[in-house]
Amino acid sequence: MAKCPHVVIVGAGFGGLAATRALRHVDVDVTIIDRNNYHLFQPLLYQVASGLLDPSAIASPVRTIVRRSRNVDVLRAEVTGVDATKQQVTTSTGTLDYDTLIIATGSVTDYVGNQDARMHSTGLKDLNEALALRSRLLSCFERASLTTDAAARRRLLTFAVVGAGPTGVEYSGAVAELIKHVLPKDYRRIDFAEVSVVLIEAGERVLATFAPRLSRLATRSLERKGVRVILGESVRDVDDHGLVLAGGERIETTNVVWTAGVRATTPPDFAADALGRAGRVKVTQSLHLRDHPEVFVIGDAAAVEQAGAVLPMLAPVAIQGGKYVGGVIAARLKGTSSSPFHYHDKGTMATVGRGAAVAQIGPVRINGLVGWFIWIFIHLLYLVGFRNRALALWSWAWNYFFWDRPVRLIIAQTGNDEPSPPTGGCAGPPPNSA
């Protein structure tokens, strides 16, 4: 009996899972490799970090997701190298041969060379970071309720977010609502006039990829929630006690969240044809390496040009890329050709808090409550599994009607798999994994 071609997929994110599903009924053996045993719905990480969602609502075990796919195996391991000549992937548990390789490794926080920011701030790209941010925020309120040092208390109660893209805007709005509507009921000793949330953006407006009108609406919504929005200022220095803006202003804080950009990540020693901006691998219009047509790169890791521009690092791009590559592999086995990859832009959106969101779908611009309901529908659609959708919808409904965040737990992260805490700050975020 002939051996089925072996397809190795590195990464169980949106792109990797989409490719796995597309190959479910194809005559291949699939091995999906990831350092974690779960698929993470990254767009909702900020809601874990702000106490709205339980981690299990946005993370699903990979083996559970693919258990009905008889041709799929799962390997929890770290990929340490790729040899495209020998067609081998080296992992922390051994070496795998492949006939086709799909790189779907996603992206990490980009500190644009600012080592101080890397050491003294926390990103929001993985579950450890989200849990750490939640614990740090609540720990700071615990400490502030006990300290008699006014300067130290203000530093504990100042929360700075660097980068006003969708993640920065959504996290800032969620934290502002938590501070305004929930925590005053828990911390009666604290004067909440001392609490502040600062959103810092080097560009001229928040949500720069959105239409200017939607950016202005998002800014006004944030300001109504009590967020101080600073535009046109980059961050020069970050230390244990605060940050300094390029203009010289110093903001005293022990809480700096870095959402100012992301950078593609690929396996060590991955011999890509060429790297583009943000470390993304340049691929052909069929999403494979020019010199190695058996090696595909999809999602955030791939620099794919369409209509004269590189496609954005968004989940829909990764999902459509994964489906496309699955189709290309199936076509190759049948001896047929495939048309080039074409991304269909279904729009972008961001929520600014309870009952407020902005969305642009082609020429249509939507904001406010209608935009928020569309945002809910789209996110429920992309969440993996009925249970996760039900948990998320229940938490959103609870927060909407009762102004409450049910997951306000301070968790001390311990164990061999967890990174060590940094030297400064409030009780516990791990350093970034980038």
- Residue 137 C-alpha from the chain's centroid: 19
Tokens of 274: 């060429």
Tokens of 429: 């975020």
DSSP-assigned letters across all residues of 243-308: EEETTS-EEE-SEEEE-S-EEE---TT---S-B-GGGPEE--TTSB-SS-TTEEE-GGGEE-EETT
Distance CA 50, CA 155 (A): 19
The verdict on whether 170 is a catalytic residue reads yes
- List CB contacts of 377: < 8 A, sequence separation 6 or more: none
Beta bridge partners of 264: 107
Distance CA 65, CA 54 (A): 19
**List 129, 170, 177, 201, catalytic entry:** 170
**Residues involved in catalysis:** 170
